[in-house]
Amino acid sequence: MSIGTRVVLVSRTRVGRLARMGDVKEFHQRWCIADGHADSLMWNRDLCERSEEGHVDFPRLREAGVKLQCFTIVTRGFPFIGGFPVFAAWRGWPREARASEWTRALWQIEQMASFCARSGDAARITTTGAMLEDNLAQGRLSAVLGVEGGHAIEGQVARLSELHQRGVRFMGLTHLSNNDLGGSSFPMMGNRGLTPLGRDVMEEMARLGMSVDVAHASESTLKDLFTHPSVRFFCSHTGVRAAGGGWRNLSDESLRFIADRGGVVGIIFAPVYLGGDTVDDVVRHIEHAVDVMGEGGVGLGSDYDGMVPLPRGMKDVTGLPLLTEALLRRHPPSWVERVMGGNFRRFFQETLGG
What residue ranges do the domains of the chain occupy?
3-351
CA dist 349 to 36, 68, 140, 195, 230, Å?
14, 11, 16, 31, 17
Query: What DSSP line would sit under 1-37, residue for residue?
Result: --HHHHHHHHHHHHHHHHHHTT-HHHHHHHS-EEEEE
Counting DSSP H helices and E strands in the chain, the numbers are 15, 9
**How far is it, in rounded angstroms, from Cα 129 to Cα 349?**
4
> Which of 85, 197, 220 has the alpha carbon at shortest distance from 150?
197
**How far is it, in rounded angstroms, from Cα 230 to Cα 226?**
9
**Residue ranges of the chain with per-residue pLDDT less than 70:** 1-22, 77-82
The answer to whether the CB of 142 falls within 8 A of the CB of 124 is: yes
The answer to whether the CB of 130 falls within 8 A of the CB of 122 is: no
pLDDT of residue 164: 98
The pLDDT tens digits of the residues spanning 234-257 come to 999 999 999 998 788 999 999 999
The answer to whether the CB of 349 falls within 8 A of the CB of 53 is: no
Task: For domain 3-351, say whether CATH 3.20.20.140 is its number.
Answer: yes
pLDDT of residue 13: 44
**How far is it, in rounded angstroms, from Cα 56 to Cα 191?**
33
pLDDT of residue 247: 81
**How far is it, in rounded angstroms, from Cα 64 to Cα 57?**
11
pLDDT of residue 188: 85
CB count in 10 Å sphere of residue 142: 25
